A and B are shown apart, each in its own frame.
Chain A
């Protein structure tokens, strides 16, 4: 029996409007690589942030080497031997590798002067231990992203870390850089260190981890030994299975659609991502009919959000053609998209959907200020009240008042505010990006019902979702995306959840098998 280095019991963390972690229990053994998987919003990052003192838990306790500890801040975590290797590279680009590794703990001689000889000796040694061939005298900005990642690991070692948490470390790495990172992780393991490895790539779990814990919607689903489980089973746990009554079965309109002309035709759409973690779309083509719900399924990193953003003029389109009612259209900005009645409900409501300091009322009418302003652009406050009151009633938005700050609402009600401001523009096409992610079950049902109703009213919906059952219950047709490409298009009739799951993780599973 290998000893438990760390045990976290019943950890609860709440943020305004969402329970990020719901009584999560987790243990880590000495010399173990423990994978932590889950979709966006599952709570993986929040969990390691709690271990590293970046967040403080609302409930629960952490036991380190058999003793209960309270980790108030990152400094304390470091003292206890816990370090987080951040997803983004957190280094000072203009300083040398050695300076970055020893930042804040430079060896000194005669109390004030930096002992440079010791600095370089030490960092050379640490890098060598890692098997990383990097000159500590180079500036960090001259390194590749993969090398920078290794420098981050070296810094963790210089902190005398016993537990290293990696948050999605491979997102920006090339396959070769990934291999050398894995080699480093294996060395760490052999040296008796413990590693928590966050990822959403299933194949990485099977490459590097000993055990895996699956989180979903802030809850722990299971901890399994990797050698005793199949990739499909992990994916199934990640994507979840809610009680079937939480899904809203919509009458499919496949026969009606077959005879009509498409509302929107997308041909060979390709994009260049602006941010490192985004995926490039490659020759994406599909059609969208009036009043249908087109489900788009895929794992994180499949390019679903990027597709939604491209159609809304946020992602940069390099090639491809978009036709609406048979006419070519160009969408370069959200303003263009709005002109054609295309709207986007972003996955990240807080960051991209709402203006947190503004009231519910002001957030609902922000899309249609022209409609509610009179002579000289003066806003008709009465009309604004009426409009927002109507939506609060229609969509059953629970808020203390119309003037309440939107940031005080629960996640589900915030999502309804986003939907209200979109519907207020009388849209033709709505792109929903993970509309029910991170909100409570009751609100999920309501949101699904709203989406089903929209299609009844003749609005076309593109539903980007990693909840396969949600898509199966709502969509008329489904397209499958894998790594920026559409790999399958089908009518939603007689397809099982397992079939879709095998389609969306096809590439990854093949890789694991090989």
Chain B
């Protein structure tokens, strides 16, 4: 009798555990989160240096700018578009802010605003190219990728802008963490709730899910696209400012190739490239995974060139898991 009761109890706890797991995997972010936890535990085991406060702090500092790019990129991809301009926009915004501070002797606060406006303008142009000129987002943002980088090189003459000490308020600690980490956390919460709880967020998912149906339902898809591209531009600009703070120099080649990291972060985070499925929170998890991989490989003393191969392999594996069940893809 006693024995039997114990058995039932065990069964119950087993049942509640499966229910919990089932519930957990209903969340869109559960797969990337599981991968992240696994990588985190694995890294803690292989390297004694990984799970130290010092290392985790560096990891977060490295991750914050990428997280900002991933947030903007994810919002754009959720609409079924794509943005190739994050790297160039972050560089241009950061450089303009640096020039405003150093050459135009503006207060740092104003320089920050100027940088963010630069990002907003780039995003606005992206949005208008897509909705008004009706250029597919891949091509429109490719144009900004190229032209944006050109602008950076023109205004800097190809040489770095130095003396960006005032920007380091972004790396200084507030409540145990660098302020830019807090900014990234706030931006994550903001975009997550913007997309999940507000009218425009709902419209983003509707456009990504089925643009025809959304338009036939009275969604002003063009307006939504312009707003989201512009918002993404601002997020990239903040990323550029974070880079200024971290390096105290604005390099003209900052963010070169970062658009690929941003897209990879979104995909790793479960955002479907066709749009309509995923969340910005997922993309931040993706950004964390990418940064963690770099970090652990460095800790293990692996030749930095291998990082790219490992990242590529992980992206391919993740994408395979995510596209299971599709007949074929392009």
Instruction: Give the interface of A toward B (CB within 8 A).
Output: 312, 314, 333-335, 338, 344, 346, 351-358, 362, 366-367, 369-370, 373, 376-379, 381, 421, 425
Is B213 a contact partner of A354 (Cβ separation < 8 A)? yes
Q: Are A312 and B206 in contact (CB under 8 A)?
A: no
A377 to B206, CA, bound (A): 16
Annotate B192-218 by CB proximity to A: 1 below 8 A, 0 otherwise. 000001111011011001101111111
Q: Which residues of B contact A358 (CB under 8 A)?
A: 205-206, 209, 276
Chain B residues within 8 Å of A352, by CB: 212-213, 216
Name the A residues within 8 Å of B206 (CB-CB): 355, 358, 362, 366
Partner of A367, one of B212, B218, B276: B218
Which of B202, B210, B216, B217: most chain A Cβ within 10 A?
B216
Other contacts beyond A333-B215, A355-B205, A366-B206: 12, CB < 8 A: A351-B212, A351-B213, A355-B206, A355-B276, A357-B205, A357-B277, A358-B206, A367-B217, A369-B202, A379-B197, A379-B198, A379-B199
Q: Specify the chain A residue showing the minimal Cβ separation from B209.
A: A355
Choose among B216, B218, B219 the residue that contacts A314 (Cβ–Cβ < 8 A).
B216
Judging by beta carbons under 8 Å apart, are B218 and A334 in contact?
yes
Residues of B within 8 A of A338 (CB): 218
Q: Please measure, in the bound complex, the distance between the C-alpha atom of A425 and the C-alpha atom of B209, giving whole angstroms.
A: 21
B219 and A366 contact, CB distance less than 8 A = yes
CB pair B197 A378 closer than 8 Å: yes
A356 to B199, CA, bound (A): 18
**Do the beta carbons of B220 and A366 come within 8 Å of each other?**
no
Q: Which B residues between 263 and 300 are near A, CB-CB below 8 angstroms? A: 276-277
Q: How far is the CA of A333 from the CA of B217 in the complex (A)?
A: 11
A377: B residues at CB distance < 8 A: 198-200
Q: For A346, A357, A362, A376, which residue has the most chain B Cβ atoms within 10 angstroms?
A: A357
> Given A356-B210, A358-B209, A346–B216 Cβ distance below 8 Å?
yes
Q: What are 30 A-B residue pairs whose CB atoms fall within 8 Å in the complex?
A: A334-B215, A334-B216, A335-B218, A335-B220, A338-B218, A344-B216, A351-B213, A352-B213, A352-B216, A355-B206, A355-B210, A357-B209, A357-B276, A358-B205, A358-B206, A358-B209, A366-B202, A366-B206, A366-B217, A367-B217, A367-B218, A369-B219, A376-B198, A377-B199, A378-B197, A378-B198, A378-B199, A379-B202, A381-B197, A425-B218
Chain B residues with CB under 8 Å of A425's CB are 218
CB <8 Å contact, B216 and A355: no
Q: Are A373 and B213 also in contact (CB < 8 A) when A338-B218, A355-B276 are?
A: no
Q: Mark B172-206, 1 if CB is under 8 A from A, else 0.
A: 00000000000000000000000001111011011
Q: Complex: how many Å from CA A346 to CA B215?
A: 12
B276 to chain A: which residues have CB within 8 Å? Answer: 355, 357-358
Q: A335-B218, A335-B220, A338-B218 are in contact. Are A355 and B199 (CB under 8 A)?
A: no
Query: Number of residue pairs across A and B with beta carbons under 8 Å?
Result: 70
Residue in chain B with minimal CB distance to A314: B216
Asked if residues A354 and B210 are in contact (CB atoms below 8 Å), the reply is yes
Say yes or no: A373 contacts B199, CB within 8 Å: yes
> Closest approach, in angstroms, between the C-beta of B210 and any C-beta of chain A?
5
Q: Within the assembled complex, what's the spacing in Å between the Cα atoms of A346 and B218?
A: 14
Per the bound structure, the CA–CA distance linking A367 and B220 in Å amounts to: 11
Bound state CA distance, A376 and B276, in angstroms? 22
Main SS at interface, chain B:
helix
Q: What separation, in Å, do the CA atoms of A194 and B219 have in the docked complex?
A: 49
Asked if B216 and A312 make an inter-chain contact with CB atoms under 8 angstroms apart, the answer reads yes
On whether the beta carbons of A373 and B198 are closer than 8 Å, the reply is yes
Query: In the complex, what's the smallest C-beta–C-beta distance from A349 to chain B, in angstroms?
Result: 9
Cα A362 to Cα B210 with chains together (Å): 13
Nearest-CB distance from B203 to chain A (Å)?
7
Quote the shortest CB–CB distance from A207 to chain B (angstroms).
Answer: 36
A366 and B199 within 8 A (CB): no
Q: Which residues of B contact A314 (CB under 8 A)?
A: 216
Contact partners of B217 in chain A: CB under 8 A: 334, 366-367, 421
Across the A-B interface, give the 5 residue pairs with the lowest CB-CB distance, nearest first: A355-B209, A377-B199, A373-B199, A377-B198, A338-B218
Q: How far is the CB of A56 from chain B (nearest CB, A)?
A: 12
B216 near A356 with CB under 8 A, answer: no
Contacts of B209 in A (CB 8 A): 355-358
Distance in Å from the Cβ of A245 to the closest Cβ of chain B?
Answer: 33
Instruction: Type the 1/0 row for B64-103, where 1 means its CB is closer than 8 Å to any CB of A.
Output: 0000000000000000000000000000000000000000
Alpha-carbon gap, A370 to B218, bound state (A): 11
B198: chain A residues within 8 A (beta carbon): 373, 376-379
Given A335-B220, A357-B277, A358-B206: A369 and B213 interface contact (C-beta under 8 Å): no
Q: Measured between alpha carbons, how far is A334 from B219 in the docked complex, in Å?
A: 9
The interface residues of chain A lying within 8 Å CB-to-CB of B277 are 357
Is the Cβ of A369 less than 8 Å from the Cβ of B199? yes
Which residue, A355, A370, A425, has most C-beta atoms of chain B within 10 A?
Answer: A355
* CB-defined contacts of A379 to chain B, threshold 8 Å: 197-199, 202
A354 to B206 alpha-carbon distance, docked (Å)? 9
In the assembled complex, how far is the CB of residue A278 from the closest CB belonging to chain B, in whole angstroms? 15
Q: Which A residues are CB-close (under 8 A) to B219?
A: 366, 369
Q: Which residue of A lies closest to B207 (CB)?
A: A355
How far does the alpha carbon of A465 sit from the alpha carbon of B215 in the complex, in Å? 24
Q: Are A355 and B213 in contact (CB under 8 A)?
A: yes
Identify which of residues 241-281 in chain B touch chain A, using a CB-to-CB cut-off of 8 Å. Answer: 276-277
Docked pose: A346 CA to B276 CA in angstroms? 21
State in angstroms the CA–CA spacing of A490 and B217 once bound together. Answer: 32
Q: Report B-chain residues with C-beta under 8 Å of the C-beta of A335.
A: 218, 220
Tell me how far the C-beta of A373 lies from the nearest C-beta in chain B, rounded to whole angstroms.
4
Docked CA distance A353–B211 (Å): 10
Q: CA separation between A334 and B216, bound complex, in Å?
A: 6
Contact B218 A355 (CB under 8 A): no
Chain B nearest CB, measured from A430 CB (Å): 13
Chain A residues whose CB sits within 8 angstroms of the CB of B197 once the complex forms:
378-379, 381
Chain B residue at minimum C-beta to C-beta distance from A366 = B217
The chain B residue sitting closest to A352, CB to CB, is: B212
- Complex Cα spacing A377 to B197, Å: 8
Q: How far is the CA of A367 from the CA of B217 in the complex (A)?
A: 5
Question: From residue A384, how far is it (CB to closest CB) to chain B in Å?
Answer: 9
Most A C-beta atoms less than 10 A away, residue of B203, B213, B276: B213
Task: Decide if B216 touches A353 in the complex (CB within 8 Å).
Answer: yes
Q: How many angstroms between the C-alpha atoms of A366 and B277 in the bound complex?
A: 17
**In angstroms, how far is the closest chain A Cβ from the Cβ of B198?**
4
Provide the bound-state CA to CA distance between A312 and B216, in Å: 8
Contact of B203 among A354, A357, A369 (CB under 8 A): A369
